[in-house]
Amino acid sequence: MSETTERLEARTHLATLATEQADPRYAGIETLSTLDLARTMNDADASVPTAVAAVLPQVAAAIDAVAERLARGGRLRYVGAGTAGRMAVMDAAECPPTFSTDPELVKAILAGGKAAEGGAVEGTEDDAAAGIAAIAADGIGPDDAVVGLAASGRTPFVVAAVKEARRRGALTVGLSCNTGTLLSEAAEHRIEVEVGPEVVAGSTRLKSGTAQKFVLNMISTISMVRLGKIYRNYMVDMRVANSKLAARAVRMIREITGADAEEAEAALTASGNHVKTAVVMIELGVDATEAGKRLEQAEGRLAAALQV
């Protein structure tokens, strides 16, 4: 098949996708007042949670599978291009400060590399060979989980990367905003969030981007809950890196243990700014060393460490 034929088929396929359609409800938006246009966009965005809710069983199944790989020492990789890829970069970047994870645990593989994080790098999303090479370069294997993101569900870089990851035995998830996509065919777990046409036709940074962010929030957060990174609904594994987070840490310790501010602050300092250790110290009346041992024996799970 010639390159010209491939491009023609790609254009024809794109024209059939729901996310590429021009919705007549939004015709003439340039004539609306700013307030009316804001209301129109807000109304459109309000449909996203319903679309995500429709695929929660698939989301949950994928998360359980991801968490199982992480629990046995694997890594989580997001693969994306453009808007989807940049959202993946953001979600991955938030895991170390929020959950004290190793920076290598959750990372994003973005078409175009770091240069694409701040803007478009033309043509990279169409490079299937680069997607395969990126998976190989990262040494993806059977213990790892790879989540491919593409609103269209057909981005060559992403589809090829997911296929290669699956060939290597990794868990694979395809997250798209259309149905019956190439990405879904490539992945073991298929998440298709049907958001429909965008307010600005084809601008998938809008509803599609919002839907993908919703699902990424669930994948990273719930996986960390399953790994014991959350206690009750507190982010007890967060890194205490500034005064705001120090105040949050003291508040968490007080609310969990019932300690006063002075005791909570003293325990946090003695623990080396580690919330879990400080909680164990106060609750069990032990020093930081003993609290650390109990947490290690409990594989970092605070609830288990508190059981005497």
User: In CATH, which of 2.60.40.10, 1.10.8.1080, 3.40.50.620, 3.30.9.90 is domain 243-305?
Assistant: 1.10.8.1080
Residue 122: the pLDDT is: 63
Residue 11: the pLDDT is: 55
Residue partners of 7: CB distance under 8 A and separation at least 6:
none
Residue 9 known to be catalytic: no
Question: Cα dist. 109→85, 126, 172, 272, 286 in Å?
Answer: 7, 15, 14, 33, 43
Catalytic residue selected from 6, 9, 20, 94: 94
φ and ψ at 304, to 5 degrees?
Answer: -70, -40
Q: Position 174: which residue type?
A: G
Which residues in the chain show pLDDT less than 50? 2-8
Residue 255: the pLDDT is: 97
CA 95 – CA 224 distance, rounded (Å): 9
Residue ranges matching CATH 3.40.50.10490 in the chain: 11-226
Residue 5: the pLDDT is: 42
Q: What would the DSSP string read from start to end of 18-38? A: GGGS--GGGTTGGGS-HHHHH
**Is the CB of residue 51 less than 8 Å from the CB of residue 193?**
yes
Question: Cα dist. 203→84, 91, 110, 126, 193 in Å?
Answer: 12, 21, 19, 18, 16
Residue 125 known to be catalytic: yes
Give buried/exposed letters for 25-58 (b at 16+ CB in 10 A, else e).
ebeeeeeeeeeeeeeebeebeeebeebbeebeeb
Residue 290: the pLDDT is: 97
Give buried/exposed letters for 201-214 (b at 16+ CB in 10 A, else e).
ebbbbbbbbbbbbb
* Three-state SS annotation for 205-262: CCHHHHHHHHHHHHHHHHHHHHCCCCECCECCCCCCCCHHHHHHHHHHHHHHHCCCHH
Catalytic residue selected from 30, 104, 125, 198: 125
Into which CATH architecture does domain 11-226 fall?
A: 3-Layer(aba) Sandwich (3.40)
Residue 9: the pLDDT is: 52
Residue ranges matching CATH 1.10.8.1080 in the chain: 243-305
Using only the alpha carbons of the chain, give its radius of gyration: 22
CA 251 – CA 194 distance, rounded (Å): 40
Question: Quick one: tokens of 181?
Answer: 């996509």
CA 124 – CA 15 distance, rounded (Å): 21
- β-sheet bridge partners, residue 149: 175
The model's pTM is: 0.91
pLDDT digits (tens, 9 = 90+) for 90-113: 999 999 999 999 999 999 999 988
Residue 16: the pLDDT is: 84
pLDDT digits (tens, 9 = 90+) for 216-263: 999 999 999 999 999 999 999 999 999 999 999 999 999 999 999 999
